Amino acid sequence: MKAFPFNRRRFIREAAATAAGFVALPVLAGTSTDYICEFDSVEHVSGSEKKYSGPPRIQFSVIGINHGHIYSQVDAVIRGGGEFVSFFAKEPDLAAGFSKRFPQAKQVNDEKEILENKSIQLVLSSIIPDERAPLGIRVMQHGKDYMVDKPGIITLDQLAQARKVQKQTGRIYSVMYSERLENRATIKAGELVKQGAIGKVIQTIGLGPHKMNAPTRPAWFFERKHFGGIITDIGSHQFDQYLFFTGSTRADIVASQVGNMHHPQYPTFEDFGDVMLSGDGGAGYIRVDWFTPGGLKSWGDGRLTILGTDGYIEIRKNIDIAGRDGGNHLFMVNQKETTYFDCSKVAMPYGEQLVDDIVNRTETAMTQEHCFLATELALKAQKQAKRIGNKV
């Protein structure tokens, strides 16, 4: 492959412009959400998605919009043929921006107006993480399916209750693991692995660095009782990818550790975590952190390496620091060649598949067992983690 020249002046210029944009984000969107991820989520739908033009296949609503991922959640279901009819949010500042983006949805005064509306088949949420499972249980008990931002569940007790109610009701409890389901390069990697392009998968290495940008974060962001810990939270993406690419149906946590390495002003916050795991389909390593430096023109240099018996795939999800523009970069090396894939036009089928599952009572987007197992592994790794760094 051709080497990528690194243009230092261009990088500094663009990074400075991006940093200025981050400073402006609280002014643009209010003060109660995760602005970096919100704007990144909006970027996810800037590709060549087909817009659904037929009659609505389902009606759906939203309860709780505390994380910006809700924007891409809504977009995904609309692409799948869903009609967005209503939403409920406690925070006026968040509701104002959300309503402007989705004027077709009526703002209601109480979640009961959504839960008790029999015409609504699906509820979406990015409410504060510790409230997500209790809400999902109420949604399922009202005969509706549920799609929630990660982490969809933050304790093992919540998981046990969610599993119980899901089994009783037969409803769908879907966690939108967006680093796979809404990342075009990762979707392409799934196609290549399925085709046998790198042989049998042996291991995945998932890296989920994030930019701190503390001034834009709400108070709950820094309190572990609300977000569940760093492995529970952003690590949940990596467990989903591990299960998907290795085909594992069971796995054990070999070792895990978490720590507050550099933010003592937030005593219950965790800014670093990593995990080793082993399953019936392969091995895995996960590292997540809040140490993305300000000079990077992205919220994080998310990466995934998939090692196979006949080659490997490397994904740069959000940025290629070697010089290529944009995100969704995939590199594959196998016994024949080294190949680069620009995945910026790869379709994202999750929304359509989820709507199919709601209509047909199938499991094409994600099996329920996979969804809960990814969460279970994250929760166990968090609970078993050795504490390092500052006392947390």
Sequential DSSP letters for 22-66: HHHHHHHH-SSS-HHHHHHHHHHT-S-PPPP-SS-SEEEEEE---
Give pTM, 2 decimals: 0.88
* Rg from Cα positions in the chain: 20
> In this structure, what are the phi and psi dihedrals at residue 12, rounded to the nearest 5 degrees?
-65, -45
Return the pLDDT at 391. Answer: 61
Return the pLDDT at 323. Answer: 81
Are 25 and 37 a contacting pair, CB within 8 Å? no
Give the burial string for 118-143 (b: 16+ CB within 10 Å, else e): eebbbbbbbbbbbbbbebbbbbbebe
Residues 184-188: what's their mean pLDDT? 98
Nearest to 74 by CA among 148, 131, 138, 133: 148
For domain 180-348+380-389, the question of CATH label 3.30.360.10 is answered with yes
Split at pLDDT 50, 70, 90, the class of 48 is low
Topology, domain 43-177: Rossmann fold (3.40.50)
Residues 10-17: what's their mean pLDDT? 37
For residue 21, pLDDT beyond 80 = no
Residues 13-28: what's their mean pLDDT? 34
For residue 165, pLDDT beyond 50 = yes
Tokens 């966690």 correspond to 175
Residues 262-287: what's their mean pLDDT? 97
Return the pLDDT at 322. Answer: 86
Six token digits for residue 28:
């643009």
Write the pLDDT tens digit of every residue in 236-258: 999 999 999 999 999 999 999 99
Return the pLDDT at 68. Answer: 95
Nearest to 255 by CA among 283, 236, 238, 275: 275
For residue 17, pLDDT beyond 50 = no
For residue 40, pLDDT beyond 60 = no
Lowest mean pLDDT among 38-42, 54-58, 192-196, 282-286: 38-42
For residue 36, pLDDT beyond 90 = no
| CA distance to 17, 167, 314, per residue, from 116 (Å) | 47, 21, 46
Give the C-alpha separation, 158 to 266, whole Å.
25
Nearest to 381 by CA among 230, 269, 224: 230
Are 82 and 58 a contacting pair, CB within 8 Å? yes
Split at pLDDT 50, 70, 90, the class of 23 is very low
On the CB side of 77, how many CA atoms lie within 13 Å of its CA?
A: 32
Are 123 and 62 a contacting pair, CB within 8 Å? yes
Split at pLDDT 50, 70, 90, the class of 53 is confident
Domains of the chain, residue spans: 43-177, 180-348+380-389
Give the C-alpha separation, 221 to 128, whole Å.
9
Same fold, 43-177 and 180-348+380-389: no
Return the pLDDT at 50. Answer: 74
Give the C-alpha separation, 23 to 41, whole Å.
18
Handedness of CA 210, 216, 222, 228 (dihedral sign): negative
Length of the chain: 392
For residue 27, pLDDT beyond 50 = no
For residue 34, pLDDT beyond 70 = no
Write the pLDDT tens digit of every residue in 191-230: 999 999 999 999 999 999 999 999 999 999 999 999 999 9
Return the pLDDT at 89. Answer: 98
For residue 161, pLDDT beyond 80 = yes
Return the pLDDT at 11. Answer: 35
Return the pLDDT at 52. Answer: 85
Write the pLDDT tens digit of every residue in 331-353: 999 999 999 999 999 999 999 99
Six token digits for residue 39:
């704007």
H-run or E-run covering 253: strand 251-260
β-strand pairing of 311-316 with 145-149: unpaired
Tokens 């043929």 correspond to 81
